[in-house]
């Protein structure tokens, strides 16, 4: 019987590994707790209403439907017994000959998981729906209060200001993209849609504990990104750590900041894969791997993507090799390349061939979008910002979307949004509570 390869996780790494095993005489089982592959770099555009969920995602079964040696299981892995070569699911166990863990990351609330309810992070389509609803409801509730204020003895201006204050914790790529998009959304897309409030008065607050935003980018690009955010009206606070988060807002530097919407993007922690394997991990829980991306003393177990701590030789876009190995960043490309590499290792082992050279990373640089036509790009040999960087960002992201239809629809939506400055996906998923409920909840 053909060897069984179990892949845990249908993200960039897991899907790349599964696809690369096409035609290899193995039985592949891809397990994910969600039935879709998600293009996470554009998830913030779903959260802010520019794109719909199906435009940046696709059913795993459909994507792999023509690959006969792959089956997809909708289930959640609860653990691994590496000595017995078993993967534990909620109701059964599966044996494996090779195991690929591509379980990703989740947001780190630094010991305060209770903050998650008040400050959601952007990890899945469900999170995007929740965040979009919070944003739209904040404007609707502010409008309702303002509309009813003439009949009240005094205008509830403090509550309206709180509703129109959006605090983003963490100024990495997601935080910066969300801040810029929220600013443009309030000042362009929603500017003329309300009669009793001015959406342009919304405060967008971006907090970063480090000394600058986009701390993994070169300082010159971080400064350009900050200046552009500030030109959009975003208030940027660096060297600032958020001490408390609750339903009413945040506490920063001893000062209470009332905010109805708090969004979290301050740091990540790896999945429990390291604990499952009893393997060595770094401070964020990523598994330390060997040069072939396998786990030490477990040559049949591979860890890729955000789940792995990988230090590898790298070459830039032009093929120039770096002088020293680099710790791979938590972006899509290391996961995609790692998935393909591990599939090649398995193919050669099954065929009894010589193993490939140790994994090396083709470093294509870092990109971050800061506005509707503004981005920053670090290609290692060249660094630039503005429309050119945005065009590079757009081409790269369109190219890596799964499916021709998704690429076409996203291009059309971007074109429409650029011309009209409107957001298409603004329907709330359920009927919002009555305005009176926010003014006099006892009635």
79 vs 93: CA distance, rounded Å: 10
CB count within 10 Å of CB 182 equals 24
84 vs 63: CA distance, rounded Å: 31
Indicate if 177 belongs to the active site.
yes
Cβ atoms of residues 43 and 18 within 8 Å? no
What is the DSSP track for 81-114?
ETTTTEEEESS-EEE-SEEEE---EEE--TT-GG
Of the candidates 279, 207, 201, the one whose C-alpha atom is nearest the C-alpha of residue 242 is 207
348 vs 356: CA distance, rounded Å: 8
Q: Among residues 177, 184, 208, 344, which one is catalytic?
A: 177
Hey, what are 11's tokens?
């993200």
Of the candidates 188, 182, 57, the one whose C-alpha atom is nearest the C-alpha of residue 131 is 182
Q: What angle do CA 338, 122, 120 make, to 5 degrees?
A: 140
Q: What is the separation of C-alpha 337 from the centre of its chain, rounded to a whole number of angstroms?
A: 18
41 vs 222: CA distance, rounded Å: 19
Beta bridge partners, 242, equal: 252
For the chain, the residue count is: 443
| Dihedral sign, Cα of residue 30, residue 11, residue 417, residue 183 | positive
Catalytically active residues are 177
């Amino acid at each position: 019987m053909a060897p069984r390869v179990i892949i845990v996780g249908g993200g960039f790494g897991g899907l790349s590994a599964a696809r690369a095993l096409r035609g290899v005489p193995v039985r592949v089982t891809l397990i994910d707790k969600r039935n879709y592959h998600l293009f996470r770099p554009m998830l913030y555009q779903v959260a802010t209403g520019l794109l719909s969920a199906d435009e940046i995602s696709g059913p795993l079964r459909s994507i792999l439907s023509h690959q006969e040696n792959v089956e997809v299981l909708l289930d959640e892995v609860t653990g691994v017994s590496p000595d017995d070569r078993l993967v534990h699911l909620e109701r059964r166990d599966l044996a494996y000959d090779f195991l690929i863990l591509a379980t990703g990351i989740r947001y780190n609330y630094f010991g305060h998981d209770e903050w998650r309810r008040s400050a959601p992070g952007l990890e899945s389509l469900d999170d995007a729906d929740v965040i979009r609803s919070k944003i739209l409801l904040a404007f609707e509730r502010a409008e309702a209060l303002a509309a009813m204020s003439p009949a009240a003895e005094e205008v509830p201006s403090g509550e309206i200001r709180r509703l129109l204050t959006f605090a983003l914790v963490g100024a990495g790529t997601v935080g910066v993209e969300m801040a810029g998009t929220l600013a443009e959304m309030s000042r362009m897309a929603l500017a003329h849609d309300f009669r009793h409030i001015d959406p342009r008065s919304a405060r967008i607050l971006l907090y970063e504990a480090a000394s600058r935003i986009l701390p993994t980018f070169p300082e010159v690009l971080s400064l350009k990104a900050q200046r552009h955010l500030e030109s959009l009206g975003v208030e940027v606070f660096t060297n600032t750590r958020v001490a408390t988060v609750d339903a009413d807002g945040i506490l920063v530097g001893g000062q209470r900041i009332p905010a109805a919407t708090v969004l979290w993007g301050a740091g990540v922690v790896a999945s429990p894969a390291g604990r499952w394997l009893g393997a060595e991990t770094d401070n964020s829980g990523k598994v330390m791997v060997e040069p072939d991306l396998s786990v030490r003393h477990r040559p049949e177990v591979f860890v890729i993507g955000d789940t792995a701590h990988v230090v590898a030789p790298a070459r830039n876009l032009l093929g120039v090799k770096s002088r020293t190995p680099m710790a791979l960043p938590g972006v899509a490309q290391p996961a995609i390349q790692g998935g393909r590499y591990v599939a090649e290792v398995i193919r050669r082992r099954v065929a009894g061939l010589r193993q490939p050279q140790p994994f090396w990373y083709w470093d294509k640089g870092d990109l971050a979008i800061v506005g509707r036509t503004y981005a920053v790009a670090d290609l290692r040999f060249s660094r630039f910002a503005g429309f050119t960087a945005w065009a590079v960002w757009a081409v790269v992201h369109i190219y890596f979307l799964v499916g021709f239809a998704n690429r076409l629809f996203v291009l059309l939506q971007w074109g429409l949004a650029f011309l009209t400055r409107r957001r298409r996906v603004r329907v709330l998923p359920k009927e919002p509570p009555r305005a009176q409920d926010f003014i006099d909840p006892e009635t």
